[in-house]
Amino acid sequence: MAVLEVYEYPHPVLKKKAVKVEKVDDALRKLMDDMLETMYSAVGVGLAAPQIGQSVRVLVIDYEQEEDENGNRIKGNPRYFVNPEIIWHSDEKVCGEEGCLSVPGQRAEVERFEKIRVRYLDYDGKEQEVLADDFLAIVLQHEMDHLDGILYIDRISRLKRNMLLKKLAKFREEEKEDNYCLLYTSPSPRDMRR
């Protein structure tokens, strides 16, 4: 398995509609394994393939991660979704705070369906359905949006988005300064992560 680069806003791959997967084979399973490892390394709970530059309809989720003795995230309950489709959703919506590895350091309130039913192919290519509510419903909708080129910041008001993008620019400036200092103090890039 390998840790891949996570593409960040405003990379154009994040705006693209991803294509359907034709077949779940070993190459795709390798991609899903790498996505999972990348997600653990970046301390996220979900990751969609466009976020690692692959414009295909694949996503991974694990919000029951555990920590090993070195404080690294390890597998809890990984879920794999290939070609996921919402086939039903509740009328009720819920509001919750979301963040995204492609929009680092930021969060905002987003409205989502409270419950959804999703049809997808699993890690072995078998067709499955899940009735998702609570956190799974929200994470799934967030990740499925990535497959259609939509970020959660596209679902908030223009005013809030502009404020958030200003904060993102500031966050990146501060990170650059931190990295610059660390070049002279610490050789380990892992230590730079907050």
Query: Which residue, 5 or 129, has its beta carbon nearer to Ni ion?
Result: 5
**Which two structure tokens, joined as six digits, stand for 85?**
């489709």
Least distance to Ni ion from the beta carbon of 8, Å?
A: 10
Q: Is it true that the peptide bond before 10 is cis, omega within 30 degrees of 0?
A: yes
**Taking contact as CB under 5 A, which single stretch among the options 3-11, 77-85, 99-107, 132-140 is the one that binds Ni ion?**
99-107
Cα pseudo-dihedral 185, 186, 187, 189, rounded to 10:
-130
Q: What is the DSSP string of 65-82?
A: -EE-TTS-EE-SS-EEEE
The region of 23-31, 96-104, 155-163, 167-175 touching Ni ion under the rule CB under 5 A is 96-104
Residue of the chain from 42, 60, 100, 164 that contacts Ni ion (CB under 5 A) = 100
Residues classed as catalytic: 143
Other residues' Cβ atoms within 10 Å of the Cβ of residue 91 = 7
Binding segment (CB under 5 A) for Ni ion, from list 69-77, 81-89, 100-108, 158-166: 100-108
DSSP string, 88-153: EE-S-EEEEEEEETTEEEEEEEEEEES-EEEEEE-TTS-EEEEEE-HHHHHHHHHHHHHHTT--GG
Q: Is 136 in the site for Ni ion (CB under 5 A)?
A: no
Cα separation, 161 vs 152, in Å, equals 10
- Enclosing H/E stretch for 61: strand 58-61
Minimum Å gap between C-beta 152 and Ni ion is 7
- Regarding 45 and contact with Ni ion (CB under 5 A), the answer is no
Query: Closest CB to Ni ion among 82 and 100?
Result: 100
Comparing CB distances to Ni ion, the nearer of 100 and 136 is 100
Rule CB under 5 A: is residue 60 a binding residue for Ni ion? no
In the complex, minimum distance from the CB of residue 142 to Ni ion, in angstroms, rounded to a whole number: 6
The token pair at 158 is: 């223009």
Closest CB to Ni ion among residues 28, 47: 47
Q: Which residues bind Ni ion (CB under 5 A)?
A: 100
